[in-house]
A = this chain, B = another copy of it.
């Protein structure tokens, strides 16, 4: 008695039909007469055959039904960000109709293990990059040479890679203008990561920031407040915002009257730091966020923020992938954020 698993050929033999007919019974690509179908199904059942081997089907079809998502190194920090979570949901939803699932690939895999899977070694039909740094960009030509569609979200992967992006600069500028219109002049900025390492601290005025989101939002803020100091955090988290806020509010003399945070989580942390310093929000300090996501436990504040369609970003990435898989050349997508006033901004108090 052999242990070999039954194949569709075995099923066909037992059912007394050709392999192609048996195949069609499972794929449903072509009509099959009821009696024939039943014989094939019975044969399959008697052999314990439960359907085509996905690996063989994948080779034959030239499709694996897998879309890679290249994320930062730590899933823990990556998914700490609600925007990323919603993005993933939108993406999952958008690739499901393609019959595809999401394969998580870490950008710097290989530090863990020599043979960690990569964009070139995994059976993937397409790849979605969440952000894109230099080292990743260098591996892309190989992937593209294989004819694998690539889409990048919130990043720049070269001109031939379609982007799903946000109007980060314009949106952030709107928030800054709002503060300016309220009368603020002493404004500080709390930014997202300024580099892959997540170096915390004041950003040098002439710093060349390579993280697109961070840079673009920073530019938007400085379009209005050119000299506003900026403090970089490592992650988009309340704790990081809190730490940054403590620094900003350390000196009562020089403290800002308004803080532009590059994410809602950071803004929440800044608010906490303000409270700790005995400052009232918005009377003593105004705070703006970015993202427009519900922050767990932020009540009773309602953040003045920019709402971004995070789930739509994922959906757009999925749609772009779908289009490319059908041979089309999708254009980049620029999504827009909506300014949403809350109760965390107000005019500065008279000095």
Contact = CB atoms under 8 A, between A and B. Distances in A.
A117 B145 contact: no
6 contacts: A55-B62, A55-B64, A97-B113, A99-B116, A99-B121, A103-B104
B106 A104 contact: no
Contact of A58 (B48, B58, B142): B58
A65 to B, nearest CB: 5
A144 to B, nearest CB: 10
A299 B56 contact: no
Interface string A27-68: 000000000000000000000101101111011001011101
Contacts of A103: 66, 101-104
Given A65-B117, A76-B82, A117-B99, A123 B88 contact: no
A75 interface: yes
A75 B89 CA distance: 6
Contact of A101 (B56, B104, B146): B104
Nearest to A88: B75
B146 A50 contact: yes
Given A75-B85, A101-B105, A239-B297, A55 B59 contact: yes
Contact of A55 (B5, B116, B117, B123): B123
Contact of A242 (B86, B146, B299): B299
B75 A96 contact: no
A5 B116 contact: no
Interface string A153-164: 000000000000
A261 interface: no
Given A54-B121, A80-B82, 15 more contacts: A51-B120, A54-B64, A58-B59, A65-B123, A66-B103, A66-B117, A66-B123, A76-B82, A80-B296, A92-B106, A97-B113, A101-B122, A103-B104, A238-B297, A242-B297
Counting chain A residues whose Cβ lies within 8 A of the other chain, the interface size class is 35 or more
A129 interface: no
A59 B56 CA distance: 6
A142 B296 contact: no
A117 to B, nearest CB: 4
A142 B79 CA distance: 32
Nearest to A300: B276
Interface stretch (A198-206, A265-273, A336-344): A265-273
Contacts of A53: 59
A283 interface: no
Contacts of A100: 117
A65 B121 contact: yes
